[in-house]
Amino acid sequence: MSAIENNSLIDQLLALPVEERSEIASLLLKSIEDDVPPGQKRTPDHWQQEIKRRSNELNGGDAKLIDATDSIAKARANIAARNS
């Protein structure tokens, strides 16, 4: 896949609703875990627990969801304010 196609795919994925992005992220993480040789762990246990906790909060409606575009814009504004 070319860099242009890759960027287009990423843009399309980022445009999905948060629930769909969360599901895709979980599937990608699982696929990485599946490719790790036996006896090795790609994601430490404490991160697995955190991933499950956040997933449960999201699926249970307890998580406060923030749009990625808004979150990035806010982070950039905070960085710019600190640098000025």
Tens digit of each residue's pLDDT (9 = 90 or more) over 4-61: 566 788 889 999 998 899 999 988 888 887 777 777 766 677 888 898 898 899 888 8
**What is the Cα gyration radius of the chain?**
16
The reported pLDDT for the residue numbered 36 is 73
SS3 83: helix
Q: How far is CA 55 from CA 4, 16, 44, 70, 83, in A?
A: 31, 17, 17, 21, 35
The reported pLDDT for the residue numbered 84 is 82
Q: What is the pTM of this model?
A: 0.41
